[in-house]
Chain A
Amino acid sequence: MTREDILLKLEEIFREVFDDETIDLTEEITPDDIEDWDSIGNVYLTVEIEEELHISLGDDMNKISNVKDIIDLIINRLEAING
């Protein structure tokens, strides 16, 4: 998956989790930009990403500060799986 593919997939996930079809996701978006992206929202996001991409994100999702960090984390996990 390329960064762009991941960003597109994340946009889909964000729209579903936050029930908002108007979200246009960019790497710069932070939790402050989306109303429901607090600690609870982050749990829903984590579960959804893990389920959709078949990876485990664990506690590292608590350390992210924007969408870019999530993409980096996902790439890291995918690389670990694919060698």
Chain B
Amino acid sequence: MARIVTDYLEDLCKKIPDKIAISEENDSISFANLRKNARRIATVVAKTGLLRKSVVIYLDKGIGVIESFLGCAYSGNFYTPMDTEMPMSRVQSIIDTLEPSMIITSENYLDKLSTINHTAKVCLISDMLKVAEDDNLINSVLDRITNRDVLYVLFTSGSTGKPKGVIISHNATINYTEWASEAFNITEHDILGNQTPFYFSMSVFDIYQMLSRGCTLDIIPKELFSRPKDILDYIVNRKINMIYWVPSALNLVAKSGALNDRDMGVLKKILFAGEVMPNSVLNIWRKAIPDAFYANLFGPTELTDICTYYVVDRDFKDDEPLPIGKACKNADILVLDAQNHLIEETDTDSMGELCVRGSIIAYGYYHNEEKTNEVFVQNPLNSMYKEVIYRTGDLVKYNEYGELMYAGRKDFQVKVSGYRIELGEIETAVSAIPEVKLNCCLFDAKNQLLVLFYEGEIEKKELRSQLNKKIPRYMMPHKYIRLDQMPFNANGKIDRVSIKKIFFED
């Protein structure tokens, strides 16, 4: 097993140097060239004397971003990718937290970067790639790096307050990667179609499966995600046999009807995470591609990406929830009630907070001890030695199969007319109404109202009447707002923050 992530690339370059590692619509790179370019970047970074320091990657999504990630790893430093479309006030906030020593960017962004305050050295990737690699320098640096060193810091898109930088080590990434390779039987013959941005934790799966197992990572052009027919054509033409997307992206394709008019047999493995996957959407995919392998993955950035998974092995009705399954290797699940007592797998009545122990846990939040101490806490079941667990803030319960069922966010639970209501439950029920393409339910705290936002060809009255048959009366939304188009955030998920800003006061 690899000690640090660069070991993966070193191994692949001995076995399959000329195989395509990453492809884009009009470009591609082999493993050997990926290694060469990463080591050129590493040479520049290491020559400036940086070790175990923060490097920001401010580039458009593409091969260059992954070259830069690996360049940081080869130089013994850690990377933070940033969205180049992010408002500059947020960029400034992240830069203030990170205090990076270097920013790797392209010429296009020099003006933009000059508008923020920082003390980092700014390097153009195009210049870095012209430098000859210095093997001695890189080797001497790597001798000083341990698998406990930080590989990257990813900033969560948190709905409120300051963004938090999640610190992940080489060890956590390798543990996660090894589990996923095994669980989903990933080999060098796979072609993985990437949807998620590289500043989002789901992309850790895509990038490190490519690096560890030698599969090809195909970066699907972002604009195709608004054209379902084109995206399916792209998958077929590029022979993509595996995807790991957010459910919103799968939903857009499913509800467009595009799956019905072509043979999608090329797709063999369909994985998803990042949001609740409605069975109404999954059933469309399962009907169109019945032989594919489907798995629901679940976990936050703070656990590298994933802590539980469920391989879809039975049929579900449209309005049934999909399990989030069982723990991944190197993650041990503790479901704790409000008094920190353990809820056993056989107890199907109690709901508790999903807490995790194991090697995939982040070190905490960068430069933010207060937030770190809130959720990275001593295991309350162990008073004998220091053992950190991560409290996810997600509520779960066990079903009769001993599988975990997601029951919503602790902070998404609202109390209306004395009833505790989970907004996700309302959304799941609405998703099962065929005319509704997308929906999200939000709580208007000022007016104490449940507001349902939806996209689809159905009148409010009809929607209300159908919903009335699915959920208890106290869970019924008070207001229904039909949107021509549901807004999405940069990760491809429904943008609840924007909706709240537009429709709610305060």
Contact = CB atoms under 8 A, between A and B. Distances in A.
A36 B449 CA distance: 18
Contacts of A39: 417
A51 B468 contact: no
B464 A19 contact: yes
Nearest to A19: B468
Given A19-B465, A47-B449, A51-B479, A36 B473 contact: yes
Given A36-B473, A40-B417, A40-B473, A47 B461 contact: no
A46 to B, nearest CB: 9
Nearest to B468: A19
Contact of A16 (B417, B464, B473, B478): B464
B333 interface: no
Contact of B474 (A16, A40, A51): A40
Interface in A31-66: 36, 39-41, 43-44, 47, 51
A41 B461 CA distance: 16
Nearest to A41: B473
Looking at B449, B464, B474, B478, which has the most chain A CB atoms within 10 Å of its CB? B478
Given A16-B461, A16-B464, A43 B417 contact: yes
Contacts of A36: 473
A19 B473 CA distance: 11
B419 to A, nearest CB: 8
Contacts of B486: none
Contacts of B474: 40
A44 B476 contact: yes
Interface string B293-317: 0000000000000000000000000
Contacts of A40: 417, 473-474
A42 B19 CA distance: 66
A19 B469 CA distance: 9
B290 to A, nearest CB: 37
Contacts of A44: 476, 478
A35 to B, nearest CB: 10
Interface in B410-453: 417, 449
B478 A47 contact: yes
Contacts of B479: 47, 51
Nearest to B419: A40
Interface string B452-471: 00000000010011001000
20 contacts: A16-B461, A16-B464, A16-B465, A19-B464, A19-B465, A19-B468, A36-B473, A39-B417, A40-B417, A40-B473, A40-B474, A41-B473, A43-B417, A43-B478, A44-B476, A44-B478, A47-B449, A47-B478, A47-B479, A51-B479
